[in-house]
Amino acid sequence: MRDQFLLDPDLTFLNHGSFGACPRPVFDELQRWQREMERNPVQFLGRRSAELLAQARARLAAYAGAHADDLAFVPNATTGVNIVARSLALRPGDEVLATDHEYGACETTFERLCAARGAHYRRVTVPLPFERERFAETLLAELRPQTRLIFCSHVTSTTALIFPLAELCARARERGVLTLVDGAHAPGHLDLDLQALGADFYTGNCHKWLCAPKGAGFLHVRPEHQALIEAPVISWGYAAEVAGHTGFDAYTGRTPLERRLLWQGTRDIAAWLSVPAAIDFQQRHDWPVVRARCHALAAEALHRVCTRFGLPPASTDDDYGQMVVLPVPHRDAEGLRARLFEDSRVEVPVTQHAGRTFVRLSVQGYNTPEDVERLLAAPALAA
Ligand SMILES: Cc1ncc(COP(=O)(O)O)c(C=O)c1O
């Protein structure tokens, strides 16, 4: 499958997790939309975009177990987290509870907003090795009367763990606490059923594991919270709300989420319009089989590295998908990453969590057992 992707053939690319990689047919679709736009930008953006986006969104909704009206396209998960964090109107004394595995930029979002509003961002330690049975309880035991929100990844960035979230979301709701899930790595990586998962807010990326073009994120908001969502950019939809406008066009939108998020000024919508092509690509290539093959390769690499260094894994094999963290004894994470890339042309990130260092291995459909062998044989990996 490697020839389906545009990746440099001289590279051993084992970092799908950071920014994904887009297959040729999906990238062709992106460019087809961009060319279509340039034939008549006024027709395309001004008169057709709302309908085209609605079609793409409907396809994504069916794929992800959602109602289309509860979904909005955003450029990426960072934006999705920011929209929710800024919309919550945190008050002095409020608390946002999170795990200690959250993505740095999103943690910073909450830390800054909390500091500005006199609220608190509190990390709960989810220890390694990960124990899925204790996960929900670990967070729920930390709830206080002032906890407004639990913020939690679906698949974590530095540790590549899949957090089991349905129970957490349901029990948080019983306690009157909102949930925001950072699903940056989930679409295309896990079977997603957003309604069954039950988070109040869920943001995800299609440009990582679904292999859509970059800039294709989404935000899912349960209907009862849609009115509180504030856009990062105030635009025509707000004007239409004030004027009681009942029409539907690219500028105004129709539903509460569209009014806020559909039109954010002139921008390139081609990545979102290409999401159906990414879904088609994975369906054509029997993705459940691809995923299982990738997981098996990741698991084999993990077991070999653990044995080689005598270090324990971060979790059982059921707690990760196509991305896994390989424990290594190295202390200098950036030095190891740079040597793997410069000496061996292996593109792979090296992460650190709770004093431990990990090579975060991503195995995607284009990877072969030889790719993993090149990583494991790299001189830099020898302790
Ligand atoms: C858990 C997690 N959240 C959010 C992000 C940010 O994604 P984006 O840059 O597409 O906003 C990442 C990126 O790797 C991530 O791993």
Contact assessment for residue 229 and residue 257, using Cβ atoms and an 8 Å cutoff: yes
Q: Give 240 Cα–ligand 1 centroid separation in angstroms.
A: 32
Q: Give 17 Cα–ligand 1 centroid separation in angstroms.
A: 9
Q: 242 CB contacts (<8 Å, ≥6 apart)?
A: none
Longest CA–CA separation in the chain, Å: 67
What is the distance in angstroms between the CA of the first residue and the CA of the last residue of the chain? 33
Atom of ligand 1 nearest to the CA of 205: 10
Rounded CA-CA distance 39/47 in Å is: 13
Q: 11 CB contacts (<8 Å, ≥6 apart)?
A: 345, 347
- What are the structure tokens assigned to 65, written together? 């177990």
pLDDT given at position 243: 80
Rounded CA-CA distance 41/35 in Å is: 10
Q: Give 334 Cα–ligand 1 centroid separation in angstroms.
A: 19
Stated length of the chain: 383
Q: Give 167 Cα–ligand 1 centroid separation in angstroms.
A: 23
Atom of ligand 1 nearest to the CA of 182: 3
Mutate to test the pocket of ligand 1, among 207, 208, 323 (most ligand atoms within 8 A of CB): 208
Phi, psi of 92 (to 5 degrees): -55, 135
pLDDT digits (tens, 9 = 90+) for 276-288: 999 999 999 999 9
Task: Look at ligand 1, atom 13, and give the residue with the nearest C-alpha.
Answer: 18
Mutate to test the pocket of ligand 1, among 16, 151, 182 (most ligand atoms within 8 A of CB): 182
pLDDT given at position 248: 67
Rounded CA-CA distance 48/33 in Å is: 12
Q: 247 CB contacts (<8 Å, ≥6 apart)?
A: 240
Ligand 1: lining residues by beta carbon, under 6 Å: 18, 76-78, 103, 106, 153, 157, 182, 184-185, 205
Q: What b/e readout covers 299-326, taking b as 16+ CB neighbours within 10 angstroms?
A: bebbeebeeeeebebbbeeebbbbbbbb
Task: Look at ligand 1, atom 5, and give the residue with the nearest C-alpha.
Answer: 184
**Residue 27: pLDDT band with limits 50, 70, 90:** very high
pLDDT digits (tens, 9 = 90+) for 91-118: 999 999 999 999 999 999 999 999 999 9
The tally of CA atoms less than 13 A away on the side-chain side of residue 334 is: 0
**Residue 383: pLDDT band with limits 50, 70, 90:** low
Please give the full DSSP string across 70-138, using - where no structure is assigned. Answer: GEEEES-HHHHHHHHHHHT---TT-EEEEETT--HHHHHHHHHHHHHHT-EEEEE--PSSP-HHHHHHH
Task: Look at ligand 1, atom 12, and give the residue with the nearest C-alpha.
Answer: 184
pLDDT digits (tens, 9 = 90+) for 281-313: 999 999 999 999 999 999 999 999 999 999 999
Asked if pLDDT for residue 247 goes beyond 80, the answer is: no
pLDDT digits (tens, 9 = 90+) for 49-86: 999 999 999 999 999 999 999 999 999 999 999 999 99
Mean pLDDT of 186-204: 98
Asked if pLDDT for residue 245 goes beyond 80, the answer is: no
Task: Look at ligand 1, atom 14, and give the residue with the nearest C-alpha.
Answer: 18
Mutate to test the pocket of ligand 1, among 22, 74, 78 (most ligand atoms within 8 A of CB): 78
Question: What is the residue type of 154?
Answer: H
